[in-house]
Chain A
């Protein structure tokens, strides 16, 4: 039985504040839209922080029943440790990206508003609202709606520049995301038919390893991993993420794919019965391992900076799937480590990758191109950006004291503890390959400028946004384990 907890109103606020801000910005437009979006996102960060604090202090999930109706009749919003951590991450990244976008999407006083600026400031709060819905939703249909909202706002942001080449790659993204949605919806329908509810907490007690549940599980999982671009379903991600404007790429790679990840966790560890998780988890992890190895090698061989970073996302998403067999096979202690490791990887990747995409965007804007071989001189014009990019890379590699190190250490330990040592080899070789492509970029940026290369200086404020995100991904590793216990609140 779920009941509204005293601080449940925070969850409603987290959902309605950005949605309201979006509507308001839509109506106000121009310079007001920017002010409204920035103000709302700053407030949203405060709310996300308050939710995390409440969950951490109380040691129990927050919940809110909409209209006071119990599921399955009513709908519930829930915030456990996973939701709170992801919400906070989302708020940090969104605010940093919004501040980053102040320069390119500004509407000067008296000037006519541009389409891109208007869309940017309307869709940022919309993305926040969709993320809140995806992280807080307590029932599989609501989560489907959240996922669709996420896809469409992301799409709008990706097409911000309105270039024909963008439309082509984003159309691929849309089609693939829709196919994923159809599969998910099909599975949700099967579950509803078999169990009469889509509320996650209620389903958790009812599912057995029977045919409808299995088919539903397989369909929904396939749909979700298509949206997460897990190898071999990754074809849409590199062009879509690399083709979008820098701010949008950061959000797509950092946050949007994590929405589907949270859903996948809810499906696997709350809804599906334990034996199914144990059997299917190994397949997911195997695909994840392939993603890590192949994605990293392909990233290593890219000629364009943004494509390289996008392939790195394909590889890094692979790490998220390693937690499935570890969580299913280990004892309580090991499972808790694997859970923390997986979620920490999601959080630190969100921060680091957002920083790297913003940095790549700045570099491309300054040099006028993003060919890796011709990045020489970048470090002289924008040392802060290059340092931030390298720091994000260190976190992806999993070097201490970054958040990525914490994540990989926990996964490594869990894989040794469960006797599944082969995943350790994947984790470690992935780190080496990651080091390879990060080094390629940093070394190229440190090289002296090629003759005839004209690099324009970039705004210091934008550089500082990139640095803040990169620093956050590094400092995450210094957060004491006790505080990371937040993620364990309400864990399966």
Chain B
């Protein structure tokens, strides 16, 4: 069975390589939906798949499937498959898009089963960097700007992770680079806080924790619809699995947990507030993703504070629901825009159901996701914070529904083709039903979803949505990627610094300067070599 683990990332990769042959191109593009099937199958077989260990010349590579990994792998495979089907109808023949799509998918699926530093880093990097091709697909100036920002932050994240991984590898006993060996010593190591900070930086960038979230609201709206769905649904989850895998399950200092939880809730609220000031429905959705990832960060943080070993599994369940529902909502935006105003009301029920799920409306899958994280966010201040975030999410998602319904259609009498409708309906149904089927896995109590504490935030949010609808248009537009404005202000000093370094370098170009430097190097070397070691 283990060979299936390898197939999960290799199948998309093989299809990507097959695109190089013109004769295979049409076949591959027609079957984009089939690429994630091995991943889906292997996710369903969880528990029967032993880890795969390969000794690659002194380097032990591990692929393994545990329960949190299987939840995310299965969800991601479903999303990639549905979005692949959708992309076929949405974009038609686009070999270049298919290549980026499959490459990103290979990394995105691989990251959930990688069991050592090497393969994790490789899969994470492939998913991150190849995502650039999806962002810039439309080729507009805005898309290319968004792509550049995406790439810059992705590389920054890679750098933080590389440093963190080096620290992990050095801190672990022996030569093993298996995650199971390098992570536990982290909790007790003296410099562990630096490593943890770098990890949160690297994975937080991918998840969109404030203030590292700026790329999400810029990149997601710029990408074509199916690409936004996988970016928001699957790619950001690479950060989630990263935090699940790399933060020690037990024994980490409570301070780390508190910091992560505070950061998470801050992100959750920030996403809501910034999203409410948006006009473009896709941007609203992107901010909602930011907010939801904040909740996951808070879950993992509180898991550390309360020392709950299973918080990774709970977070994965929460993320699974987000993956499916957010993917379906993005696909739904495309469906709505292809549908003329007359028929658009038929889009409303599913959109509304999925949207309110994020607030925790029972009996949607979202309510179960909230129930799954009750251990972490069910008591004390955290419960109040979580309720506030659920209220905000409801408000934000109703704002989104309204923006979608108001958005201008491509054609007044247009109807969405079945190629768009099918994947959307399928994924939306999965988001509502799958959490119920998988509930026994996390062992949450489904009875509580009808409690007043769970329902009140949704009702309150829904009640306030109407007044907000009236003033929303008077709120000044917040630029996409809010804090980016500050980064742009730094452009002038950066430019000055660059010019100063260039001027400094030109000082060394004339001959006299070169002669002097040569002399200085000889003397400096002599002095350094002769110095007694202190």
Chain A interface residues (CB < 8 Å from chain B) = 176, 179, 183, 209, 214-215, 217-219, 221-222, 225-226, 231-236, 272, 275-276, 278-280, 282-284, 287, 294, 297-298, 300-301, 397-401, 408-409, 412-413, 416-417, 424, 428-429, 431-432, 435, 439, 443, 479-483, 485
Distance in Å: Cβ of A20 to nearest Cβ of chain B:
37
Contact A298 B501 (CB under 8 A): yes
Given A218-B525, A235-B508, verify A480-B156 contact (CB < 8 Å).
Answer: no
Q: Could you write out 9 A-B pairs with CB less than 8 Å apart?
A: A214-B526, A279-B529, A294-B504, A398-B162, A416-B170, A417-B170, A424-B166, A428-B163, A431-B159
Beyond the given pairs A234-B508, A301-B502, A439-B151, 15 more chain A to chain B contacts, judged by CB atoms under 8 angstroms and listed by A's residue number, are: A218-B523, A219-B522, A232-B513, A232-B514, A236-B514, A297-B502, A397-B155, A413-B166, A416-B167, A417-B170, A431-B159, A435-B155, A439-B148, A481-B57, A482-B58
Question: B508-528 vs A: 1/0 string, CB under 8 Å?
Answer: 111101100110011111101
A480 to B151, CA, bound (A): 29
Closest 4 pairs between A and B when the two form their complex, measured CB to CB = A480-B57, A482-B57, A218-B525, A280-B529
Contact A432 B156 (CB under 8 A): yes
- Which one of B57, B121, B166, B533 has the highest number of Cβ atoms from chain A below 10 Å of its Cβ? B166
Contacts of A300 in B (CB 8 A): 498
Contacts of B524 in A (CB 8 A): 283
A447 — nearest CB in chain B belongs to which residue? B144
Contact A233 B514 (CB under 8 A): yes
B169 — nearest CB in chain A belongs to which residue? A413
Question: B389-404 vs A: 1/0 string, CB under 8 Å?
Answer: 0000000000000000
Contact A294 B56 (CB under 8 A): no
Contact B58 A226 (CB under 8 A): no
Contact A218 B529 (CB under 8 A): yes
Dominant SS at the B interface?
Answer: helix
Given A233-B517, A432-B159, A443-B148, verify A416-B522 contact (CB < 8 Å).
Answer: no
A425 — nearest CB in chain B belongs to which residue? B163
Contact A412 B518 (CB under 8 A): no
Q: How many residues of B contact A (CB 8 A)?
A: 48
A483 to B56, CA, bound (A): 10
A225 to B520, CA, bound (A): 13
Given A399-B129, A480-B59, verify A280-B518 contact (CB < 8 Å).
Answer: no
Contacts of B525 in A (CB 8 A): 217-218, 221-222, 280, 283-284
Contacts of A209 in B (CB 8 A): 529-530
Contact B501 A294 (CB under 8 A): yes
Contacts of B170 in A (CB 8 A): 413, 416-417
Contact B508 A401 (CB under 8 A): no
Is B14 at the interface (CB under 8 A from chain A)?
A: no
A40 to B62, CA, bound (A): 44
Contacts of A226 in B (CB 8 A): 518
- Which one of A236, A283, A400, A480 has the highest number of Cβ atoms from chain B below 10 Å of its Cβ? A400
Contact B533 A278 (CB under 8 A): yes
Contact of A481 (CB < 8 Å), options: B58, B167, B510, B528? B58
Question: B135-169 vs A: 1/0 string, CB under 8 Å?
Answer: 00000000010001001100110110011001101
Chain B interface residues (CB < 8 Å from chain A) = 56-59, 118, 121-122, 125, 129, 144, 148, 151-152, 155-156, 158-159, 162-163, 166-167, 169-170, 498-499, 501-502, 504-505, 508-511, 513-514, 517-518, 521-526, 528-531, 533
Contacts of B508 in A (CB 8 A): 231-232, 234-235
Contact B125 A298 (CB under 8 A): no
B160 — nearest CB in chain A belongs to which residue? A428
Distance in Å: Cβ of B445 to nearest Cβ of chain A:
43
Dominant SS at the A interface?
Answer: helix
A226 to B520, CA, bound (A): 12
Contact of A232 (CB < 8 Å), options: B122, B499, B517, B533? B517
Contacts of B121 in A (CB 8 A): 400
Contacts of B522 in A (CB 8 A): 183, 218-219, 222
Given A225-B521, A435-B155, verify A215-B526 contact (CB < 8 Å).
Answer: yes
Contacts of A428 in B (CB 8 A): 159, 162-163
Contact B514 A176 (CB under 8 A): yes
A401 to B167, CA, bound (A): 20
Given A217-B529, A279-B531, A417-B170, verify A480-B162 contact (CB < 8 Å).
Answer: no
Distance in Å: Cβ of B346 to nearest Cβ of chain A:
40
Contacts of A183 in B (CB 8 A): 518, 522
Distance in Å: Cβ of B147 to nearest Cβ of chain A:
8
Contact A282 B169 (CB under 8 A): no
A298 to B148, CA, bound (A): 20
A218 to B527, CA, bound (A): 9
Distance in Å: Cβ of B60 to nearest Cβ of chain A:
11
Distance in Å: Cβ of A338 to nearest Cβ of chain B:
13
Contact of B528 (CB < 8 Å), options: A282, A298, A408, A409? A282
Distance in Å: Cβ of B189 to nearest Cβ of chain A:
12
Contact A432 B529 (CB under 8 A): no
Contact A233 B521 (CB under 8 A): yes
Contacts of B533 in A (CB 8 A): 275, 278-279
Distance in Å: Cβ of B496 to nearest Cβ of chain A:
12
A108 to B511, CA, bound (A): 43
A485 to B59, CA, bound (A): 13
